[in-house]
Amino acid sequence: MRTSAVFAAIAAALAVSLPLSLHAQNQGNARGPIGESPYDLVPFWADVFQEDGFAFGGNSGIWAESPDRIIIAQRGETVLPFPIPDEYLGFAGSIGINVLTDANRRTWQNCLYTVNGEGEPIEIWNHLDYLCEGSEGPGPHRIRINPYDPERKLWLVNETFHQIYVISNDGGEVVATYGEKGVPGTDATHYGRPQDVAFLPDGRILVADGLDNHRVIIYDADMNYLGEFGGRGDGPGQFNTIHSLGVGPEGRILVTDRSGGEVNLFRTTDDPAVIEFERSIGSPLTLPLDIIVNDDGFWITDLGPLRFVKFDFEGNIQYTWLVPPDLPHGYLEVHTFSVDPDGNLFGGDNQYGRTQKFVPRADANPEHLIDPPWVAR
């Protein structure tokens, strides 16, 4: 089995410089201040732990709980061709396999695992593979931790089965399941391809019931239904496909509308069942994917071109840096991203099939760096 050390040696021969560069990139739909990435990429960071003949699958969910514990949800593993081409660099995209579209190569194993800050596997929770087995669709979509939960339980969203699982922090057991497996619905206990969850400081829980139902459901801390907002359409506060959620200061809730090409900003009210629409931000975005909200604004990843974009809460673009697609270090899609308490950035590629780590450059402008998600203090 090849190791990340071997791939790092290959990287040294393939790459002169590891800062992600925007040189010669098509700026496409990108607007506002566009500059260099404030991060350096760690080449071939993730250790290859799969059995021979298999590679990472689509890395759809990441949560950097600490600098030395990163939790990754992947859409199974990828069956490699035999014999494995010499060009193989430890991930399927290096030999031209798109793990999203080449779904016939997907096998439901090792869907959840944790790694340390060096990319070395700590825990492989293959006893939880049953949560994804039998899926004819993409399966796991997001993984989050409720920052207000002293037990730090994990929330795994499975869009194909229309379910959300709550898992003990050590991965030992599934402590709760919401939604009925394989049964979509529009009531308070059924979902239509859910996409994300988020947590309010007062204990309320938000579920992005996004691809089919185009709504955000509001629950209390015990997952009792309180209300919902959104709905399909192009009007104020409506969606075409909700893809991710973020919570920020002063009652802000930000929701990415993937197909609508924008982010909708809402606010909490004195009524726990009511969330009010405030404004749409970012249009025209191409395909906003994931979001992290900070004290002074929020970051999203978007396609066309692939980029990280920072907005303030008024909708003004503060900074953009482009993510190149070129191998061996590029991306096709930053489907998910997370930042650890030390400021290291982790981005999951749902098409090349891997997670990469980025460390802040010593000379980076602090305003161009992504902070960990906002938490009420």
pLDDT at 100 over 80: yes
Residue-wise pLDDT tens digits, 196-206: 999 999 999 99
Res 208: pLDDT: 98
pLDDT at 99 over 60: yes
Where along the chain do its domains lie? 4-9+20-368
* Mean pLDDT estimate for the chain: 94
- Residues forming beta bridges with residue 225, ordered by sequence position: 219
Element (H, E) at 11: helix 4-14
Res 23: pLDDT: 45
pLDDT at 8 over 60: no
pLDDT at 78 over 50: yes
DSSP state of 232: B
* Overall fold of domain 4-9+20-368: Neuraminidase (2.120.10)
Residue-wise pLDDT tens digits, 44-57: 999 999 999 999 99
Query: Comparing C-alpha atoms, which of 184, 289, 206, 199 is closest to residue 242?
Result: 289
Predicted confidence band at 29 (pLDDT cuts at 50, 70, 90)? confident
Residue-wise pLDDT tens digits, 299-328: 999 998 999 999 999 999 999 999 999 999
